């Protein structure tokens, strides 16, 4: 293989990730990179790393995960990663083409990014776990109802099968919620269940899930049904 061919075949990007079982933000960043169609190497940050653990346990944000390095540029924060990927891969459809739809998409992504704290705390992501009959407290229920309202509004406005018609950054942002709903047995009505099932069967999501199920590391605080 020539040097030129080797350079072309070598991924120009790396993506730092934490636990595939527990880290919802790592999942979002990874799905966005898959949507963008870029080649990237994964850099694993151990779940017991202090910063990564703080991110997973919602104790503090982390600039370690996910963190995209692309041609020497470092981009962290999941929304920043999504916007950057949309710039370098404009044909991938991470954001809708229509300006009004892009504004709506950014709004619902921003709401997920900055909100739903009670849901995160009460229903932490744990792909391997299953807690049927899990008690969901009122604040988390309010977050769930708001998420379901967003899903209904988007599916009705844009006709599905994804939140903005075609698959987009919004579906990546809400994909960990689909996992949470399955883990904790959150009941969904017909169209919303159909959407959740579609996200669960998304090939990229299935690839992530397979890796999550193979992980041996456990975080004790997230293995207790509380």
- Kindly report, residue by residue over 82-125, the tens digit of the pLDDT: 999 999 999 999 999 999 999 999 999 999 999 999 999 999 99
- Strand positions, DSSP E, the chain: 13-17, 40-44, 67-70, 73-76
- Compute CA 5 distance to the chain's CA centroid, rounded to the nearest angstrom: 33
Q: What is the pLDDT of residue 225?
A: 46
pLDDT of res. 64: 74
Residues of the chain with CATH 3.40.30.10: 3-91
Which position has the higher pLDDT, 132 or 222? 132
Phi first, then psi: what are they for 183, rounded to 5°?
-65, -40
> Which of these CATH numbers, 1.10.150.20, 1.20.1050.10, 3.30.70.1140, 2.40.50.140, describes 93-211?
1.20.1050.10
Phi, psi of 40 (to 5 degrees): -150, 150
SS3 134: coil
Mean pLDDT, residues 156-177 taken together: 98
**How confident is the model at residue 3, as a pLDDT?**
42
Judge whether 88 and 80 are in contact, CB under 8 Å.
no
Query: Given a cut of 80, is residue 39 above it in pLDDT?
Result: yes
Q: What percent of the chain has pLDDT over 90?
A: 77
Residues 81 and 64 sit within 8 Å (Cβ to Cβ): no
Tens-place pLDDT, residues 78-93: 999 999 999 999 999 9
pLDDT at 1 (0 to 100): 39
Indicate the burial class of 145 (C-beta count within 10 angstroms; 0-12, 13-18, 19 or more): exposed
Residue pLDDT, tens place only, 54-72: 666 655 556 678 999 999 9
Task: Average the pLDDT over 155-171 and give the result.
Answer: 98
Residue 65 pLDDT? 84
Task: Please state the CATH superfamily assignment of the domain spanning residues 3-91 in this structure.
Answer: Glutaredoxin (3.40.30.10)
Q: Which residue did the predictor score with more confidence, 112 or 133?
A: 112
Distance CA 197, CA 127 (A): 15
Q: Where in the chain is the domain with CATH 1.20.1050.10?
A: 93-211
Mean pLDDT of 28-41: 97
> Helix or strand or coil: residue 45?
coil
Do strands 73-76 and 67-70 pair parallel, antiparallel, or not at all (unpaired)?
antiparallel
Given a cut of 60, whether residue 6 has pLDDT beyond it is no
What is the predicted pLDDT for the residue at 176? 97
């Amino acid at each position: 293989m020539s040097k030129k061919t080797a350079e072309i075949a070598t991924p120009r990007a790396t993506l730092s990730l934490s636990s595939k079982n527990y880290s919802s933000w790592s999942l979002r960043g990874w799905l966005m990179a898959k949507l963008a169609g870029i080649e990237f190497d994964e850099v694993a940050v151990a779940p017991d790393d202090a910063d990564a653990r703080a991110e997973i346990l919602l104790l503090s944000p982390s600039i370690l995960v996910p963190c995209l390095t692309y041609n020497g540029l470092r981009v962290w924060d999941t929304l920043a990663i999504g916007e950057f990927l949309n710039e370098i891969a404009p044909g991938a459809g991470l954001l809708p083409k229509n300006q009004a739809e892009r504004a709506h998409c950014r709004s619902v992504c921003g709401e997920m990014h900055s909100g739903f704290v009670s849901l995160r705390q009460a229903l932490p992501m744990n792909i391997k776990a299953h807690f049927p009959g899990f008690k969901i407290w009122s604040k988390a229920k309010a977050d769930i109802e708001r998420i379901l309202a967003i899903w209904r509004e988007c599916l009705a406005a844009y006709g599905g099968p994804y939140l903005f018609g075609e698959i987009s950054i919004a579906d990546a942002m809400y994909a960990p919620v689909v996992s949470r709903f399955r883990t904790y047995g959150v009941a969904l009505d017909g169209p919303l269940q159909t959407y959740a099932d579609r996200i669960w069967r998304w090939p990229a999501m299935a690839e992530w899930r397979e890796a999550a199920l193979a992980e041996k590391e456990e975080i004790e605080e997230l293995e207790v049904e509380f």
